[in-house]
Amino acid sequence: MFVHSARMSRSSTAYNDHVYSTSTLIIASVAAACAAAALILFTPVRWVMLTEPAINDIDAAGFQERFAANPDNFVFLDVRPAAAYTALHAEGSSNMPLHTFFDTWRTLPKDGKEIVLICSGGRASGVAYHFLQHFGFFNIARIHGGIEAWVLAGLPTNGAGTSINPAAETP
C-alpha cells in the first residue's frame, strides 16, 4: 500500500510502506540489469541456434574449373576413410579422414585459402564443415553431392578403383 509521508523528500519514493532514495532505486535497477546480462552471457542458452546452420554448398563442375585455374587458392580435402580415398578420389584432393579432424584441424589455414570438403554423398563433409565452423573457420565450402556428383559430372578422378561405394562414407 502506498503511504504518503510528510517527511519524504523530493528524491525519495514510497513503495510498500518503505521509503527509498532515487539513487538506491537507480543502483538496484543497474544491478538487476547486470545480473540479467550475466545470466544470458554465462548460460548455454545463448548458444542455442534458432535456425538451421547453413552450409556453403558448391557445384562440383564449377569448383573443378576454379581449382584447375588456381589450385594454390584451395585446400581440397576428401574426408572419407583412407581405403575409400585410395579406391577413388577427385583429382587434386588430399585425404584427411573425418575421424582424424580432432587431431589435424589446427594444420588448416583460417584465411588465405578456401577449404573445400568432399566425401561420398555429402554427410561426412557436412559434419567436417560444421566441425571447422565451430572452431572459427569461415573459408569453407562443401562439394554438393560429394564424389558421386563429381563422377556423374565426368570430372577427373584418380585411384585404384572405378566405382563408388556409398557405404565407405561412414568412418
pTM, rounded to two decimals: 0.67
Minimum mean pLDDT range among 5-9, 34-38, 58-62: 5-9
Which burial class, exposed, middle or buried, applies to 12 when counting CB atoms under 10 A from its CB (0-12, 13-18, 19+)? middle
| Residues 6 or more apart whose Cβ sits within 8 Å of residue 154 | none
**What structural domains and CATH numbers belong to the chain?**
12-47 (no CATH), 57-169 (3.40.250.10)
Nearest CA among 61, 79, 59 for reference residue 155: 61
Contact by Cβ (8 Å): 144, 59: yes
**Per-residue pLDDT tens for 97-125?**
999 999 999 999 999 999 999 999 889 99
